[in-house]
Amino acid sequence: MAKNYWLMKSEPQEVSVDDALAAPNSTVAWTGVRNYQARNFMRDQMRVGDGVLFYHSSCAEPGIVGIARVASTPYPDPTQFDSKSPYHDAASSNDEPRWQLVDVQVIKKTRNLTLPELRATPGLEDLVVLKKGNRLSITPVEPRHWRQIMELVD
């Protein structure tokens, strides 16, 4: 079975690549995803060992800042049940959780491969994160894009 690759966005003030590296085993739970398509990627398509481009968004210089891997099978996001969490979902129940997450393990921090640099790189024009109107926090990455990005960050 072929390995999948993903770009996963995190706001650095919530969880930065440095926060993830400082966590036990450099692993964080990818909480707070509240988009059904992104949830479905985690729930239905992600497998342990899949490659992840750790992307900082909603910051001064958005871009790819680390290489990671999917480190768990999907499980219910506990923030949906926490009434104090900004990600609380009153319609979700323990019996039928609406939101899932996976654990993500950072393998290495990279230089910031910025959005303008990604846009200017021939061969990456159809990378999903670069498509007009794309707002998804998790997007699939084609193997050819993954290989090209690995060359750019090394």
Q: Could you read off the pLDDT of 98-140 as tens digits, one per residue? A: 999 999 999 999 999 999 999 999 999 999 999 988 889 999 9
The pLDDT assigned to 59 comes to: 95
The pLDDT assigned to 154 comes to: 83
The pLDDT assigned to 134 comes to: 84
The pLDDT assigned to 1 comes to: 52
The C-alpha atoms of residue 46 and residue 100 are separated, in whole angstroms, by: 11
Report the CATH number that the domain containing residue 141 is assigned in CATH. Answer: 3.10.590.10
The pLDDT assigned to 7 comes to: 98
Residue 17 structural domain = 5-153
The C-alpha atoms of residue 63 and residue 54 are separated, in whole angstroms, by: 8
| Number of domains into which the chain is organized | 1
The pLDDT assigned to 131 comes to: 92
- DSSP line for the chain: -PPPEEEEEE-TTTS-HHHHHHSGGGEEE------HHHHHIIIII--TT-EEEEEE-SSSS-EEEEEEEE-S--EE-GGGG-TTSTT--TT--SSS---EE-EEEEEEEEEEEEHHHHHHSTT-TT-GGGSTT---SEEE--HHHHHHHHHHH-
62 contacts 69 by C-beta, under 8 angstroms: no
Which residues touch 42 (CB under 8 Å, ≥6 apart)?
A: 30, 33, 74, 100, 101, 102, 138
pLDDT tens per residue across span 9-53: 999 999 999 999 999 999 999 999 999 999 999 999 999 999 999
Name the pTM for this structure.
0.95
The C-alpha atoms of residue 6 and residue 56 are separated, in whole angstroms, by: 14
